[in-house]
Chain A
Amino acid sequence: SAVISQKPSRDICQRGTSLTIQCQVDSQVTMMFWYRQQPGQSLTLIATANQGSEATYESGFVIDKFPISRPNLTFSTLTVSNMSPEDSSIYLCSVVRTGRVNTEAFFGQGTRLTVV
C-alpha cells in the first residue's frame, strides 16, 4: 500500500489569489499524478509530475495556471494560480504501486477548494 498525506484538506480562497497544495508519499515513487474532481463529477487528470523534469500536462491544463513542483521522490506540490470560482473543485494527488498481484493507484484524501 501507499500512505499519501495531502494538505490542506480544504480551503476557501479569494478570487485572484493562489493556493499551493502539498502531497507527501511514505516512500519513493517515480511519478506522481494530480487530478481534479469537480462537484458531482468524475476525476480528470491534470498532469504527471516526474522528479527532475517538468510536469506533463493533459489537454486543457497549462503550467501557468497549475504549476507543479517535484523536488524529490516523495513530495510534490500543485499550485492553483489566479483562482476563479470555476476552480472550485477537489484536487487529489495519486501514485501507482505494483504489488505481488495487482497494480493499484493510491490517492490522497483530497483538497476541497472553494473560490469566492
Chain B
Amino acid sequence: LAKTTQPISMDSYEGQEVNITCSHNNIATNDYITWYQQFPSQGPRFIIQGYKTKVTNEVASLFIPADRKSSTLSLPRVSLSDTAVYYCLVGDPHHPFKAAGNKLTFGGGTRVLVKP
C-alpha cells in the first residue's frame, strides 16, 4: 500500500502560486496520483490525476518526476476561496478498492490557508 506524506499546513496570499509536494516512495507500477480538495462541511472533490510527467487542467497542474516517488500539485494565483484541505492519494484508480490492499487511502492532507 503506497503511503503518502504531505505537509500538514501551508499559508499563502491571494494571487500567489501554491505548490504542495507529496511523497510516495513505494508507489507501484499501476498506481496513479490523484489530488482531492475538501472544503469545510463538504465531501472531497477531484482536482487532478496523473501517472507521470505533467498534467494540467483548468484549475491546477500536477508535476511528477521520472522516479514517481513524489508529486507536486500547483495551484496558480490562488484566491480566498482556495482555502481548503488538499489530499494526495496514490493507487490504481481502475481498481481502487481491491481487497488485496491496493486501496485508495486518504492521508492526512494539507490544510491551505489563503490570506488576503
Contacts and interface: CB of A to CB of B under 8 A. Distances in A.
B81 interface: no
Interface residues on chain A, size class: 20 to 34
A103 B43 contact: no
Contact of B106 (A43, A103, A112): A43
A57 B105 CA distance: 14
B10 to A, nearest CB: 16
Given A42-B87, A42-B108, A107 B96 contact: no
Interface string B23-39: 00000000010101000
B36 to A, nearest CB: 7
Interface string B89-110: 0000110110100011111110
Interface residues on chain B, size class: 20 to 34
B43 A109 contact: yes
Nearest to B87: A42
Interface in B68-98: 87, 93-94, 96-97
B97 A44 contact: no
Interface in A88-116: 92, 94, 96, 98, 101-110, 112
Contacts, number: 57
A56 interface: yes
Given A105-B44, A105-B46, A107-B45, A33 B97 contact: yes
A48 interface: yes
Contacts of B109: 42
A110 B42 contact: yes
B49 interface: yes
A80 B20 CA distance: 36
Interface of B: 32, 34, 36, 41-46, 49, 87, 93-94, 96-97, 99, 103-109
10 contacts: A42-B109, A48-B97, A102-B34, A103-B32, A103-B49, A104-B49, A105-B96, A105-B104, A106-B46, A109-B41
Given A42-B106, A92-B43, 13 more contacts: A42-B107, A45-B103, A48-B97, A94-B43, A98-B94, A102-B49, A103-B94, A104-B93, A105-B36, A105-B104, A106-B43, A108-B43, A110-B43
